[in-house]
Structure 1
């Protein structure tokens, strides 16, 4: 028994030593989407202040491709030494249900923190004859299959939000997948597509500049950073419509728990700084900074939830 106690004590001391020595060099956040999208925006808001807290630079490394799968695979295969993390969004729990991926969401990643909760935003090109989300339903029923909406990619929360809108309102609108929020927003600004569903951080600057018309958010409650934008549920009187997205940080599995705990602590501290919190709110984000255990529960629950929605909506990739 004494040997077991000594072994546990030695392991605990070793873990503390690892945390005290870490980081000894820059830390890399792999964002599995192109620059300019919501995930990239949130990561860069945290980057500078988080670097100060850690004592070494945080590098944001955009590795877009395959709807976030390529960058996610890179982290799954990375060394579990605390120098590579995955900064991603809630499509992390959707991709495995739609793609053949070379990783297991629950087995290959260590949850660190659910950083920000954020709605998807349904917005329109100002030149389109769409003033409200109800107009989408009216036009789609009059002209089935003629109205198009952009998303940030196949299998992403913005795609799911659009498919759920079609399901709950019994309309036929056409999905146009892009490779990230940046390209999707750019084409909507140019009028190539009349509608976009995208995370709020990817579009709020354009909404405030009058370049996009905000129609509705996909969460059950209005967003505190933009309380004038109605929810889909209230605007269309469909109470069972809800898509709540988030941004979170994961480490490769087997990353030392002490490093995970240190990173979570720094994130929680960073998002409570007044200027960082204000920037997140302006982007439509609701700062959370959760524990690893909370994020783990969210991942497990959403894997079940999205599997049911995908089956109900008959969502298949092209």
Structure 2
């Protein structure tokens, strides 16, 4: 009969066995730790709100209006981080590349849906790489004229343009801006001879229309509200489908040109893979902020109306406007590289 002989394990073998046992014992603890981390309720740390336009501009102001009510609702500090440039695309790209956990959000302007139409290449897909969270405010562009310009209403302006033998210049805040889009939409809807004059921002354009260098200007409402109220400029029409409570006496362009609507909205987005629960919490916080009288008054002071929409409502805006502005830009030959 043969007998098996148990040989003593080498030191290396004993060490390997001990390591296997230790690892085996740690597995449940590691799994539990991972599960707990995954289950940590949102938000578990401060939330960063990335502003896609320069500090001090309207998007930055909108972010600061929302900062305190958003922090209060989420129970975490909200940090504002400015990453302006390239029509909002630099800040947007930063958010697209951020961790999709709800702790990095984007606040941007309606140029968000114009950019795919005017830039030949973007470093992200506007529809696929970002998740809509909430439309937070709405602001019209306004068409103003120098007091010496004959027409004082949109019907008068359209008739004046029909009788004109030359193109009528209008200024905007820049090529591809919401004010440019408003001007081109009016030109396309009426077929009348308006000529675009691009400025480097609304400020220089306002100076020129006040000085009579150009007769007409499409520009954001806050840039000229005081000039209109004091009679230094004539308000012809606002670009949104309805009149604005900021200047309720000024007609909407849609009252003369049916279907005309260019809304310079402000909205919040998140990286595309952000968990639905995190998006819902931020959405609910922004909806509540839109109902806050203090927030409403703060936006009205900026020429905007607080909204606070669902993510679905913002998604519908994005999906409607991108093809609309692509068609307009193609017809008007608007392109930036």
TM-score with structure 2 setting the length: 0.75
The whole-number CA distance in structure 2 between the counterparts of 1:242 and 1:248 is: 17
Q: Which residue is 2:18 aligned to? A: none
The whole-number CA distance in structure 2 between the counterparts of 1:143 and 1:209 is: 32
Give 3-state SS (helix, strand or coil) of 1:309's partner. Answer: helix
Number of residue pairs the alignment of both structures matches: 301
Which runs of 5 or more structure 1 residues have no equivalent in the other structure? 1-9
Deviation per CA, 1:42-66: give whole Å up to 9, x if none: 333333443444441442515133x
Q: Which residue is 2:292 aligned to? A: 273
Q: Which residue is 1:302 aligned to? A: 321
Aligned: 1:73 with 2:93: yes
State the shift of 1:214 in Å: 1.9
Are residues 124 and 14 of structure 1, via their aligned partners in 2, closer, same or farther at CA, if it must alter by over 3 Å? farther
Aligned: 1:259 with 2:278: yes
Are residues 125 and 17 of structure 1, via their aligned partners in 2, closer, same or farther at CA, if it must alter by over 3 Å? farther
Aligned: 1:47 with 2:70: no
The whole-number CA distance in structure 2 between the counterparts of 1:247 and 1:104 is: 19
Pairing partner for 1:107 from 128, 136, 143: 128
Q: Which residue is 2:113 aligned to? A: 93
Matched-pair contact (CA < 8 Å) for 2:49–2:63: no
State the shift of 1:143 in Å: 4.9
Matched-pair contact (CA < 8 Å) for 1:44–1:60: no
The whole-number CA distance in structure 1 between the counterparts of 2:199 and 2:91 is: 16
Matched-pair contact (CA < 8 Å) for 2:83–2:90: no
The whole-number CA distance in structure 2 between the counterparts of 1:103 and 1:144 is: 41
TM-score with structure 1 setting the length: 0.79
Matched-pair contact (CA < 8 Å) for 1:75–1:84: yes
Structure-to-structure mapping, 1:32-43, within 5 angstroms = 32=53, 35-36=56-57, 38-43=58-63
Are residues 178 and 14 of structure 1, via their aligned partners in 2, closer, same or farther at CA, if it must alter by over 3 Å? farther
Moved more, 244-253 or 80-89: 80-89
Aligned: 1:316 with 2:334: yes
Give 3-state SS (helix, strand or coil) of 1:94's partner. Answer: helix
Which runs of 5 or more structure 2 residues have no equivalent in the other structure? 1-32
Matched-pair contact (CA < 8 Å) for 1:189–1:211: yes
Are residues 161 and 214 of structure 1, via their aligned partners in 2, closer, same or farther at CA, if it must alter by over 3 Å? same
Give 3-state SS (helix, strand or coil) of 1:244's partner. Answer: coil
Aligned: 1:285 with 2:304: yes
Q: CA RMSD in A?
A: 3.1
Matched-pair contact (CA < 8 Å) for 2:199–2:205: yes
State the shift of 1:123 in Å: 1.6
Matched-pair contact (CA < 8 Å) for 2:206–2:217: yes
Give 3-state SS (helix, strand or coil) of 2:176's partner. Answer: coil
Structure-to-structure mapping, 1:177-196, within 5 angstroms = 177-189=198-210, 191-196=212-217
Pairing partner for 1:169 from 190, 196, 205: 190
The whole-number CA distance in structure 1 between the counterparts of 2:89 and 2:43 is: 33
The whole-number CA distance in structure 2 between the counterparts of 1:195 and 1:220 is: 20
